[in-house]
Structure formats: C-alpha cells, structure tokens
Amino acid sequence: MKQNDKRSAGMHVGSASIIMIFAVLCLTVFSTLSFVTANQERELAEKSALAMQQYYAADWQCEEQYEQIYQKLRAGIAVEQLQQELDVQVTKQESLYYITYAADIDETQQLQVRLAVSQDGSIHTAQWKAVAVQQQDYDDTLAVWDGE
C-alpha cells in the first residue's frame, strides 16, 4: 500500500507543476501582448498629436491672413488690390468677390480658405477645409492566375 501512496503523490505534484508552467506561460504571453499594444497606442497618440499641431499651426496662419484681409478691407482698400498686396487670389462671380488662399498642413495636405466679400464689405467664410495636395494613385488591378 505504501507504493500506491507514493505514486498518487507524485502524480499530483507533476500536474500542479504543469498547471503552474502553463499559467506562467499564459501570463508571459499576455504581458508581452499588452506591452506591444501599449507601445502601438503610444505611437498612434504621438502621430495624432503631431497631426493636430500641424493642423492648428496652419489654421493659425489662415487666421492671421484673414485678419490682414479684414484690416485692409476696413482701411478702404479695394478687393481687387488685395491680390497685389497679399498672397491671395481674387475672383469675381456675380456680385460677390471670392478671396482664396491656403496654408500647408504637411507635405500631403493644405488648409484652403475661400472668403466671400459682398458689395457692402461684409466677409463670409465660404470654405475652410483641409484638402489633399496631390491625388493618390491606387493600383486597382487584380493579379489573377491565368493558368499558364
């Protein structure tokens, strides 16, 4: 009977060791995955913060340009003369003048602004949006094996 007791005691110790090894292995894998995920989230947050900083820097440039346009119009300068004095494009459509300018956000985007100036001198924002500077060429071909 003593030999029977020793076998059962050995079996329980071995199974507990296997469970412990499995638990440590699982914890190691999960901690590694958590670390990798946290690192990727940090990198994403840094990229997002940089994109926001770049956008708001371009927005500030456009706001300064808007203030210059506003001050020059209030000083009595004609809308057509703004094109020579400032880096803007002026076009006339019907009874409105449109003033267009842009500021670079990064190498792929810019913030484009279009202001509408009426005959009485009031300014309305017609467009204030980020646009892509260059069109992306996407490869939409599908490589299919033709049997040869």
The percentage of the chain sitting over the pLDDT mark of 70, rounded to a whole number, equals 91
More confident residue, 104 or 121: 104
Q: Is the pLDDT of residue 102 over 80?
A: yes
How does the average pLDDT of the chain come out, rounded? 88
Residues 6+ apart with CB under 8 A from 124: 115, 116, 117, 118
- Output the pTM of the full model: 0.70
Mean pLDDT of 14-32: 93
Domain ranges of the chain: 2-132
DSSP three-state, residue 16: helix
pLDDT at 55 over 80: yes
Residue 87 is classified by DSSP as: S
